[in-house]
């Protein structure tokens, strides 16, 4: 009986399942039940599928209004001089600056930054403060044209000195404190001619405080100061020095421009300029200062600017001319990276082209 009952209980039944066999069976059942079902992972590509979706969720948006076009102004009329190392850029007389400015305004570009190349230079850079110099003349004509552009003027002596340095040279060094009054005189000349913003770029200690005090003393309290607060002694300035005829006749600028290796010092310079009364803080060059922009964005509430310098333009243009990169896509990608890092204002020689590209994208 016992054996019969045992046989009845086991006849035709599968053997007891072992743990391993049970796991295999469960997995097979799950696989069968979920065949064709989506797996449980994040599908971030959903929002990249179409141009419209990508535009809808874009985190960093470029606008022509945040772009500032640097321009090199020479004396005279109907004067146009191409700059060999900066393809597409020219030195322009004030009348032609106004013509170009009208085009930029029509494209929605935010402003201009003017650099002057005088007829004559001297060791002290006296022409920087000449009320009849190329920058003041251009500012007066621009103001008369009443264009919706912010007018800014660079304040430095390098374009105006025979030695090409950013300040007054005594012996073999730049005399910081002797340079400050010259910078103040230049800023006053530009403000009187119509500049809304003056931009000290020489990296002289105390330059922002000096300009603020000089402007306030004559009632120019509404003139803003854009401080080149973190300006590295960069190899990317070469084409600019050709454009502005400001290559140093001897030595270099590492005694006053910053060591590119230093980031804490850069933030200290920004803090000092903010304390001295700067309205906008700028880093230069832009592409090698993205980390500084990001850190500054966390630390300062002031607007931040970045200068996409001449060497950055030259590399882009050279690579594009060889067909190695797409000029338009690369240009916009670089500008977007600068904005993404924290720049509210971007000085760029691509301002006109970028504004046109952005307009085309909006019209599609």
Q: Is 199 helix (H, G, I), strand (E, B) or coil?
A: strand
- Give the single-character DSSP code of 15: P
What is the structure's pLDDT at 5? Answer: 42
> Does residue 200 contact residue 189 with C-beta atoms inside 8 Å?
no
What is the structure's pLDDT at 95? Answer: 98
Q: Considering 284, 286, 292, 341, which one is annotated as catalytic?
A: 284
Domains and CATH numbers, the chain: 63-363 (3.20.20.70)
* Mean per-residue pLDDT over the chain, rounded: 90
Q: Considering 231, 253, 256, 352, which one is annotated as catalytic?
A: 231
Residue 16 backbone class (left: φ over 0; alpha: ψ -120 to 50; beta: rest): beta
Summarised one tens digit per residue, pLDDT across range 236-254 is: 888 888 888 787 866 677 6
Summarised one tens digit per residue, pLDDT across range 124-166 is: 999 999 999 999 999 999 999 999 999 999 999 999 999 888 8
Higher pLDDT, 171 or 79: 79
CA distance 115 to 246: 11
State both tokens at 5.
């009952």
Mean pLDDT, to the nearest integer, of 333-349?
Answer: 98
What is the structure's pLDDT at 31? Answer: 53
* Residue 121 known to be catalytic: no
* Residue 231 known to be catalytic: yes
The pairing of beta strand 197-200 with beta strand 150-155? parallel
What is the structure's pLDDT at 293? Answer: 98
Prior bond of 258 cis (ω within 30°): no
Mean pLDDT, to the nearest integer, of 308-319?
Answer: 96
CA distance 131 to 71: 18
Number of C-beta neighbours around residue 61 at 10 A: 10
Mean pLDDT, to the nearest integer, of 199-227?
Answer: 97
**Quick check: pTM over 0.75?**
yes
pLDDT over 90 at 25, yes or no = no
What is the structure's pLDDT at 17? Answer: 52
What is the structure's pLDDT at 34? Answer: 57
What is the structure's pLDDT at 256? Answer: 80
CA distance 361 to 119: 42
What is the structure's pLDDT at 363? Answer: 82
The partner residues of 154 in beta bridges, in order of sequence, read: 199
Summarised one tens digit per residue, pLDDT across range 79-133 is: 999 999 999 999 999 999 999 999 999 999 999 999 999 999 999 999 999 999 9
What is the structure's pLDDT at 164? Answer: 80
Model confidence at 7, in pLDDT bands (50, 70, 90)? very low
- For residue 224, the surrounding DSSP H or E stretch is strand 224-231
What is the structure's pLDDT at 255? Answer: 77
């Amino acid at each position: 009986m016992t054996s019969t009952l045992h046989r009845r209980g086991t006849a035709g039944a599968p053997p007891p399942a072992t743990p391993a066999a049970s796991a295999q069976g469960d997995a097979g059942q799950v696989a069968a039940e979920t065949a064709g079902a989506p797996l449980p992972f994040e599908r971030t590509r959903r929002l990249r599928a179409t141009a419209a979706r990508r535009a809808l969720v874009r985190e960093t948006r470029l606008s022509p209004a945040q772009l500032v076009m640097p321009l090199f102004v020479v004396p005279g009329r109907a004067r146009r001089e191409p700059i060999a190392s900066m393809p597409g850029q020219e030195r322009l007389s004030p009348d032609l600056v106004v013509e170009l400015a009208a085009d930029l305004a029509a494209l929605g570009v935010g402003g201009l930054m003017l650099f002057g190349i005088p007829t004559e230079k001297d060791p002290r850079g006296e022409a920087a403060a000449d009320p009849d110099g190329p920058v003041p003349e251009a500012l007066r004509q621009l103001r008369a044209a009443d264009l919706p552009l912010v007018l800014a003027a660079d304040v430095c002596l390098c374009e105006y000195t025979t030695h090409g340095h950013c300040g007054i040279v005594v012996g073999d060094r730049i005399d910081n404190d002797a340079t400050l009054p010259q910078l103040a005189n230049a800023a006053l000349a530009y403000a009187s001619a119509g500049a809304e913003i003056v931009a000290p770029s020489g990296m002289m200690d105390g330059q922002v405080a000096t300009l603020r005090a000089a402007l306030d003393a004559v009632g120019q309290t509404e003139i803003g100061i854009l401080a080149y607060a973190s300006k590295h002694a960069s190899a990317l300035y070469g084409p600019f020095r050709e454009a502005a005829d400001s290559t140093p006749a001897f030595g270099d600028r590492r005694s006053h421009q910053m060591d590119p290796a230093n980031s804490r010092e850069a933030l200290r310079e920004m803090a000092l300029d903010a304390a001295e009364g700067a309205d906008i803080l700028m880093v230069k060059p832009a592409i090698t200062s993205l980390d500084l922009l990001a850190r500054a964005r966390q630390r300062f509430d002031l607007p931040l600017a970045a200068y996409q310098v001449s060497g950055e333009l030259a590399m882009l243009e050279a690579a594009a001319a060889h067909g190695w990169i797409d000029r338009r896509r690369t240009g916009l990608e670089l500008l977007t990276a600068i904005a993404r890092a924290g720049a509210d204002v971007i000085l760029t020689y691509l301002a006109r082209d970028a504004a046109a590209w952005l307009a085309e994208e909006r019209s599609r």
